[in-house]
Amino acid sequence: MTSPADTLRQILSQDRCHVMPCCYDGLTAKMIAQAGFPLTFMSGFAVSAARLGLPDTGLISYGEMVSQGRDICSATSIPVIGDGDTGYGNALNVRRTVEGYARAGFAAVMIEDQVSPKRCGHTRGKLTVDRKEACERIRAAVDAREEGSDILILARTDARETLGLEEAVDRAKAFSDLGADILFVEAPRTLGEMETICRDAPGIHMANMIRGGKTPVLPPEDLHAIGFKIAAYPLTLLSAAMTAVANALSDLKAGKHPEDIMDFPELRQRVGFDDYYKMEARYAASARNPERGKK
């Protein structure tokens, strides 16, 4: 049976840029798979918002993230990349994070070089650790992978904001040399910077597409031409859901029943009631005919 990590490796071997909507719970992960996308990413921003109702400023813990990730990975068969933030401490904490994410079922884990507590890459107040500490985190993550954790390492740097593009590219190259599988230079400001990143730090690159963020939002074919293999959309589903909820609440407050919502039969089907009923019928038939259940 192919592992999530091996499935992700096969996906990334394709010569294309994969559109990757990001999830924040089991239902969004399931719906991403139902829509035909080959992979997803558990967004720390979105999980913090949906699970805690709090901003992505390092308030959510390792335990809460890995618990949410376990539910997400159980809800879908497509590979899931998990946001591992800074690794939640020193190099030994990073190893524990990687090992825990692998056990939870993730195909890859993202480890970044921000100072803890970290924050969303497109908001103010970011700080990064020095390059030595950043490399120690990635080395620990790679060691965990090499010593038995079946998981890919996505190495992220936020140094573009704090130290400039050249340092960010140098860190990405160092992460690649240490054995990181995927590189992510967060928040480049221009098309030229995106081209520099892919040209000067060879490897598998991920781009972050956020409407209103710092990076130009480009179509997948343009990202592929630049050199990106993954186009992540970390907040698209959360934004869409929050817009729908806000509109529905506005209608209810005005005394109207919302019209632009999913009807009940489709809602039941997407959540999994139809599959449940089939399984229920299977075991009900076995109970009526014990010999049938032995086959």
Tokens of 77: 């068969």
CA distance 104 to 245: 30
Residue 6 predicted with pLDDT over 60: yes
**Model pLDDT for residues 19-28, shown as the tens digit of each residue:** 999 999 999 9
- Annotated domain spans of the chain: 4-243, 262-293
Sort residue 112 into left (φ over 0), alpha (ψ -120 to 50) or beta: beta
CA distance 112 to 184: 9
pTM summary value? 0.93
4-243: what fold?
TIM Barrel (3.20.20)
Instruction: Give Cα 220 distance to the centre of its chain.
Output: 17
> What is the share, in percent, of the chain residues with pLDDT greater than 70?
96
Residue 24 burial by Cβ neighbours in a 10 Å radius (0-12, 13-18, 19+):
buried
Residue 294 predicted with pLDDT over 70: no
Tokens of 192: 């030229």
Tokens of 159: 């140094």
The per-residue pLDDT for 122 is 72
Residue located via tokens 């558990």? 42
Assign 183 a pLDDT band (cuts: 50, 70, 90): very high
Task: Identify whether the C-beta of residue 126 lies closer than 8 Å to the C-beta of residue 114.
Answer: yes
Assign 12 a pLDDT band (cuts: 50, 70, 90): very high
Assign 123 a pLDDT band (cuts: 50, 70, 90): low
Question: What is the H or E stretch that residue 287 is in?
Answer: helix 273-288
Kindly give the residue spans of alpha helices, DSSP state H, lying in 147-272: 159-162, 165-178, 191-200, 220-226, 236-253, 264-271
Contacts of 167 (CB under 8 A, 6+ apart): 131, 159
CA distance 161 to 204: 21
Question: What is the H or E stretch that residue 37 is in?
Answer: none
Other Cβ atoms within 10 Å of 54 Cβ, number: 11
